[in-house]
Structures are given as structure tokens and as C-alpha cells.
Amino acid sequence: MTQRYVVIDLETTGNSSKKGDRIIQFAAVVIEEDQIVEEFSTYIHPEQEISLFIEELTGISNETVKDAPIFEEVAEHIVSLLEGACFVAHNVLFDLSFLQEELTRCGHEPFYGSTLDTVELAKILKPTSDGYKLHQLAKEDRIEHLRPHQADSDAYATALLLLSFKEKLLSLPLMTLKQLYRLSFSLQSEVSELINDCMAIKLSKAEVHEPNLVTYRGLAFKKGKQGLEDNYQENEYPTDRQMKIKMLKAAFPEFESRFGQLQMMDVIYGSFESEKDAIIEAGTGIGKSLGYLLPAVYFAKKKQQPVVISTYTLQLQDQLLQKEIPKLKEILPFDFQAVLLKGRSNYLSLAKFERALREKDDHYESALTKMQIIVWLTETETGDRDELNLSSGGQLVWNRLQSDHFVYPGLKKPWIEMDFFEKAKRTAARADLIITNHAFLMTDLITDDAILPKQGYIILDEAHHLEQAASKQFGRRLDYIFVKTFLNRLGTSEQKQLLYRLERIVANHGLEVERAKENLDGKLTDFAYEFEQLFVIIANQTNKLVKGIVPKRLAFKIEERIHWQRATLLAERLYDLLQSIVRLLGEKLDVLKQHEASLGKNALFYVNDCEVILGHFIETKDILFEFFIQPREDYIYWLDCINTSMPNGVVLSAQPVLGSEELWNAYFGQQKSVIMTSATLSVKQSFQFFKTQLGIEKKDIYTASFPSPFHYKEQVKVLVPRDIPDIQTLSIEEFAEASANYIIAGVQAAQGRTMVLFTSHEMLRAAYYTIKDCGLLDDYTLFAQGISGGSKMRLLRNFQTFDKAVLFGTTSLWEGVDIPGEDLSCLMIVRLPFSPPDEPITEARCQLLAKKGKNAFSSYSLPEALLRFRQGFGRLIRTSSDRGVLVVLDRRVLTAKYGVEFQRALPPVEWQEVSINEMATVIEEWV
């Protein structure tokens, strides 16, 4: 490195130097000529008390610093270290602001040199990293970092990261560095200086051609893998059970034969052969994924046609691709190709990105995201957005760069061979297995230009979510922020946004538009104002109806439109305005399309963007019409309430009340064979509820249920406290307080390792804060969904990292959670998982069933709760060696008439009614 870099890390008494927090440890590592040449660290007496929290975080106590120098005594040495150097830190603004405050306080000049933030560098050079905390990056780069939150250890790890980042920069092509350099002036630290140093080094030597990269139109890309050689030689599907076991044991000697898994393979292969549909329930531990992958590959090879495997969650997609597919490749005597295919918007549009790089845009998030993508292009083979770690601002930038249907194919023509979505389609056409998700599958199957086979073979894993996914695809949503975003992007003729550019293109080409004198600007201005007023009225009316206690969802019932008269009148005016806007904007675009050949590429991009916005206006018009003017009787309409004090705090939503045979036929009617599988599909040994949800109760579909191979009686005890109050006699807050005692006792008995499942976030929050405030679990680490922050996967990782951890979860943690071994030993279900009867979708479905003469509780509410209960139970035992305790804090499981149904829903296990002390004793002895 041509410059002297001083890498700094501080430990402090708090987060704000402006509020009087002080430095308690200073460390510096000096780098010259790519070598660490000096290290310095010292504790500093802060002249104030160090809190217990900071002591636990850093290991630095009041005792540690009692004989340490005060800052004034080391300030001169710190100033000399920094003289003529670049100040480097991980989150440089934090460390620099503290140091500047201390230097100024002591009468020294503040630091005026350049700065370099390794967080910024990490985001650019590691765009796919799981996170950008120092310990995460150190682990990724295999940097020894034994004492996080100790300044000397943190500074040394940061210095090694900086050296690693320079190596990464030097490995990039010169053209890539030039692109990064141009954008780097919009960053918050002087990353440009480091890139410039690297460019100078590259220019001083003959550039080495990187064999794994290919360059095109000023960008560098990772070379794609060559296609597989097809070595399949009519290998017949192993119908004999012993043949399968022999094959599996040859690849994995430790393989345990599971009769249900082998049966499942035969059922799926036979269903494909006979072109029949099937519903298969595969209990936990049966090896469901391998149970359908193996017959799917054999059948795909035999028919020379891909089998589509669809999941509901990204987590299962990743598991299939990263774990199960490689395992299957070791088992089979031939190779095969499995590809992941997602919706178009998940992929980067290279045509749009090339255009974006030419824009003069100095916005921080825009520059940083573009830099991330430039580096990512040298690493990715898929162009899939899910590989990137983008900030919320970065996601907004991505939304302008994602692939979509170009109105003018010529814009994409230069990139057609490189285009990621087109490559994904070409790869999928040659693949044996296409792995996708329910949302994309359902969207694709009902489009005219479908990518997936119209008459093919499909396996639907996580099939219990199928009805939910179908309803969402047929559903509608009107989001204030989304409408405002595209409205602002269009602008008016005066605002120099898209409409201004469109008007310039029309004028520059001397074109005339019919009804040009009609004021599109005026219509857009009126629409923007009245749309704002509509959502203000909706928010205000919602507050009146719920009297201050705002639910997450509020039904917008057809028979109660009297409450929404003002909103309806305004919606009718908005509908008329939208008809005019759609007509006027459409006419302008039609004139330009007629002169496409004479328009330049930039003009076509602007016209294309306006076509996309025209589509948004049409969709908004249709939703307003359906929601306020002519609602459908088979749909449910509701408001998602986020914050009713603001117009953007409410979202209008609608979806079909129940599945139907027409809905099923629209998606799957032409398919040759559809296999639906999950660990939880049956209720009371029947698949009728599942079939009714999909509208296929009259169809003749083969069903099979393969139970879990686990010995639950030897692995699980179920406890129900006899002395807990009846949940139906208490408010949410009262029951949360009552249940807190049992949760605390259970956690202490299990020494953490406990997951607590709730049916509502309100009750979770009430219980969490009751427990946290009482202090009885201060020795434990508590993680709460929606409170602790982070994604579901991050919460699970954190839960498994700490020895004495407790995880509080709601809806999404009832399923799709795999925590084998001792990390999870105690599962507590606070309330039987009935959907609230006043929840709009539940209420609408129950009303519709009642109209049909059915008992809504027994035909809908109870079966749904039983399935959810089984899903929650399934979190506890994940392997044949696991042991655990389930505690049900809702006594209705024993006292209500339907309680026996919940008991029967679980495998044969021992149920015990216990006091709180007995509960703790059983947990201690069992786990």
C-alpha cells in the first residue's frame, strides 16, 4: 500500500460521545507497504463508572481501568500515530467521532486526514456476505479473532481484513476497478484512494488474463459452467426394496433403511408412470426430500422431460440444492442436472444495469448498490437477487434494475446471450429437475408464455401452503407507498421526471398526440392529492371503528359499506381520474411506439419505463373498482393496519375466500401428474380437510400416509399444568402474566434450550416483557420474534449459538424450523393454535361455510388448529436420538370436548397433568 494506514478500534462506556460517553480502550495497528509494522493498545480511565452491560460486552471493568492513564496522558502519542496517515476503522464514523471529541476536549486539533471504512469496503467486495459485523467477516476470511469487543483484537482483525480487501481489489480486472473508482466518490469514506492505488499497481504491470472471467460491454462476468455430459444409459428405476437399500448404502454406509421412505419412492414413480395425482403425508424423519428426488430423477431421465419440484419457502429450496441434491448425486450411477428457477423480478436486468451505470447519480445508496453489483457480477452464475446482501435502500435501487417484460425487445437484444433470466430459462429447458417456488409456479402455469411444461410432472412440497399460495396469486393489494413511488417516478411535465422526458421526446420528434390539449398534468396532480385523501380517510375511519385498539387486520365487509361512504365516493372520483390518465398516457405512448424506429435507445428506455407505470395505473384502477365499487361475493376484503396515524400505515388487500375446483383446474388441470407432499396434511387420519381447502374434495386422488420412524414414547413427554388459569377467562395481558411463571420455571429446569410458541404477537410481547422485567431469567439470553430484530434464520442461528437461550416465536416458527440435538430440549405451546374468530379471512370462511349448512368450527377452525398443533410439535424431535418435553399451557387440551382431538393429533406419547413444581422436576429429569 502506497499510503500509511492506521487501523483504529475503541471500546467506550456507551454509544454517544456527544452525551458524555468516554473511551475505555484504544488500539491502533499501523500498515505500511502492505505490512503490519506497529501495534499499540492501552486501557484508558474514563473518569466515570463503567456499566455492567459494557463490562459484560467487553470484559473491561472498573477494576481493569483503575490504574490506566486518562486520555490526556496518551493523546500526544495518538496524534503522532495518526500524522500523515489514513484513519481506518470498522464503522469509521463511530470511532472517529469519539476520538475527535476527546482530542478537542484535550485541546488538540481534530484529525483532518482521509478515512477508510472497512464496513463500506466489505459491502462492496463481499456483496453476498451474510453480515458485515467484524466477527462475521473475520470468520469468513478465517482470521483468528478470539476476543471480540476488545480493542486490540478488533483492530488487528480489521487490519487483516483491510489487507485481504486490497488483495481482492487487485484480483479484479482493471475495467472493473475503473467502474468502481468512478462511483466511489459518492461514498462516506475515501475508498476512492485505495481503489486508485490498486489501479496504479495494475497499470504498472501487464494485466494477467483471468481465465474464470469474461468481459463484455465494459463489465466483467464469471464464466458459466459447461453443460453436463449425459451419461445416463437406460438405468431402470430400482423397484425392488433391496436394490434401493444397496444403492443407498453404497454411497452412505451409515444409511438407515426407512420403510416409509422406500414406499414413498415407489408411490411417486408409479404415480408418474400412470399419470395420476397423489397426496402423500411423510412424517418427520422419514427422509421426505430424498423420497421424492430419487424417483423424480429416474423418471425425468426416462421421459427426457424435466420434473418440477416446488416449495413454499426459500429455506427448503436452499436445503434441496445445497444438501439433498449433492447427496443424491453420490447415490445415483449417472449424473443429472438440477436448476433453481424463480420469477423474472428475482434476476438482474443487464440492459437496465448498463443504463444505470451511465446515469449521473451521486446518491449514496445508489452508488454503493451499483458497486456491490459490479463486484457480484464477477462471482455470480445466476444473477439471483437473493445471493446479495442489500440494505433497504439497496433494495429500492434493485427494484429499478430487476428484470421485467420489456415492451421493446430491441433494448435487451445486446444482452440476450448474457441475460440471467434468459440463461435460467435455457438451463431449465435442459434440466432434469427444476426447483422453484409455489408463487412462481402458479404465476407461470396461467400465463401464455409459460416457461414450465404445460403438460408435465410436478411435486409440490410443503403442500399444506398450497391453498395460501393460490389465494395470494389470485389476491389483490393496494399499497399507498407503492402507488406514491411510481407516481413520483412519473412526475409531471414540470418535475423533470419520466413524463417530462416523454414530453421532450414527443416534441423533439415533431409528433402530435390526439387530445394533446387535455391536461394530463392536472389529472396527475388531482389524482396524487385525492389518493392521499383517500388513505387519510381510511386511516381515520379505521381508528373510529376500532376505538384506538388497532388490530393487524380489519375486515372491510361488503354489508358494512355504510361506514366507508366517504371513502367510496372518493374512490369513485379516483376511478374516473385513472380512466382519463390511462387514456391520455396510453395515447402518448401509442404515438411513440408508431415511430419506434426513429427513437434512440435512451428514448426507448424512457418509453419502456412509462409503459410499466401505465400498467401500474391500470392495476390500481381495477383494484379501486373491485374494492369500493363492485366487490366480488367470493372474495374477502380487509385492511392491513400497520400504523393508522399515517396514510401509509394501511394497505388494502383482497383474496378468494376458499379454494375451488376452477382454481385447481386453472393451475394444474393440464398437468399429467401432480404429487402433493408434506409432513402434516391429514386430520383425524383423513385428507378431506386438505382436499376441501384446494377445492378438489370430489377428485379421485391417491392418498398415502407414511408415519415418522421415531419412537416418540421413548423420546417425548407432554406436560399440562393443572394449576394454570383457564385462558378464556383472562385478558391477553393477564394470561401472559400467568403463563410467565410457567415459562420461567420451564426455562430454568431445561437450562435454556427452550422455544416458546405463541399464536399472536400481542401475547408474545406481553409475556416477553413480563419475563424480561422480572429479572428471573437475567442469566439467560432471550430472543423474541419481532422484538429482537433480524430474520427468522438469524434468530435461529443466534438461539443455537448461546448455551442458555430462549426463543419466543409466532406464526412462522411453528413450522420449517430444524433444530436437532440438545439445542432444543423444551417446547412450550402457550395457546392452542386456533385462528382468532374475528380475523377477517377466518371470519369470512366460517360465514361462507355456515351459508352452505356446514359447522364452521368442526369443518374449518378445528382442523386448521390441529394441523398447526402437529406442526408445532414437529419442531421438538428432529432425529432418532433427540429427547424433549412439550409443555402445553392451555388447559383446554384436557378440559374441552375437542381437547381429545389435539391429544390424538400427536403420535402416541405420555401425557401428564402436573403442578408447576412437578413440571420443573420432570423437565430436569427428562432432558
For the chain, domain boundaries = 5-171, 349-416, 515-645, 712-926
Q: Is 721 helix (H, G, I), strand (E, B) or coil?
A: strand
Q: Just give the CATH number of 5-171.
A: 3.30.420.10
Segment 853-910, tens digit of pLDDT: 999 999 999 999 999 999 999 999 988 889 999 999 999 999 999 999 999 999 999 9
Nearest of 152, 146, 118 to residue 11 by alpha carbon: 152
DSSP state at residue 729: G
Residue 706 confidence (pLDDT) above 60: yes
Given a contact cutoff of 8 angstroms between Cβ atoms, the answer to whether 887 and 827 are in contact is: yes
Given a contact cutoff of 8 angstroms between Cβ atoms, the answer to whether 189 and 86 are in contact is: no
DSSP for 810-823, please give it.
-GGGGSS----GGG
Per-residue pLDDT band for 10 (boundaries 50, 70, 90) equals: very high
Higher pLDDT, 732 or 897: 897
Report residue 340 CA to chain centroid gap: 17
Give 559's Cβ-side CA count (13 Å radius).
3
Q: What does the alpha-carbon distance between residue 668 and residue 592 come to, in Å, rounded to a whole number?
A: 40
Q: What does the alpha-carbon distance between residue 599 and residue 604 come to, in Å, rounded to a whole number?
A: 6
Residue 602 confidence (pLDDT) above 90: no
Check residue 521 and give its pLDDT.
86
Higher pLDDT, 694 or 457: 457
814's grid cell: 411453528
How many Cβ atoms from other residues are within 10 Å of residue 272's Cβ?
Answer: 25
Burial environment of residue 26 by CB neighbours within 10 A (0 to 12, 13 to 18, 19 or more): buried
Nearest of 352, 357, 356 to residue 418 by alpha carbon: 352
Per-residue pLDDT band for 301 (boundaries 50, 70, 90) equals: very high
DSSP state at residue 404: -
DSSP state at residue 722: S
Check residue 837 and give its pLDDT.
82
Check residue 549 and give its pLDDT.
55
Residue 517 confidence (pLDDT) above 70: no
Burial environment of residue 1 by CB neighbours within 10 A (0 to 12, 13 to 18, 19 or more): middle
Residue 606 confidence (pLDDT) above 90: no
Please enumerate, by residue number, every residue annotated as part of a binding site: 282-289
DSSP for 488-540, please give it.
HHH--TTTTSHHHHHHHHHHHTT---TTTTS-HHHHHHHHHHHHHHHHHHHHH
Across 445-449, 545-549, 566-570, least confident range: 545-549
Q: Is 887 helix (H, G, I), strand (E, B) or coil?
A: strand
258's grid cell: 426407512
Q: What does the alpha-carbon distance between residue 864 and residue 539 come to, in Å, rounded to a whole number?
A: 32
In the numeric block, the cell 391417491 is attached to 702
What is the bridge-based pairing of β-strands 635-641 and 650-656? antiparallel
Per-residue pLDDT band for 595 (boundaries 50, 70, 90) equals: confident
Across 394-398, 626-630, 644-648, 702-706, least confident range: 644-648
Across 35-44, 76-85, 646-655, least confident range: 646-655
Sequence-distant (≥ 6) Cβ neighbours of residue 664 within 8 angstroms = 694, 695, 696, 699
Please enumerate, by residue number, every residue annotated as part of a binding site for ATP: 282-289
Nearest of 70, 47, 48, 50 to residue 58 by alpha carbon: 50
* Helices and strands (H, E) in the chain, number of each type: 37, 25
Please state the three-class secondary structure of 615-669 as a single string: HHHHHHHHHHHHHHHCCCCCEEEEEEECCCCCHHHEEEEEEECCCCHHHHHHHHC
Per-residue pLDDT band for 552 (boundaries 50, 70, 90) equals: low
Q: Is 256 helix (H, G, I), strand (E, B) or coil?
A: coil
Segment 342-380, tens digit of pLDDT: 988 899 999 999 989 988 777 899 999 999 999 999 999
Strands laid side by side in the 635-641 sheet:
476-479, 650-656, 635-641, 553-555
Q: What are phi and psi of 732, to 5 degrees?
A: -55, -45
Q: What does the alpha-carbon distance between residue 626 and residue 624 come to, in Å, rounded to a whole number?
A: 6
Assess if CATH 3.40.1110.10 describes domain 712-926: no
Q: What does the alpha-carbon distance between residue 554 and residue 924 come to, in Å, rounded to a whole number?
A: 44
Distances (CA, A) of 591 to 507, 584, 599, 614, 631: 12, 11, 12, 15, 35
Q: What percent of the chain has pLDDT over 90?
A: 55
Residue 197 identity: D
Task: Please list the residues that pair with 756 across neighbouring strands.
Answer: 808, 828
How many Cβ atoms from other residues are within 10 Å of residue 88's Cβ?
Answer: 28
Per-residue pLDDT band for 816 (boundaries 50, 70, 90) equals: confident
Q: Does this chain's domain 5-171 share its CATH topology with 712-926?
A: no
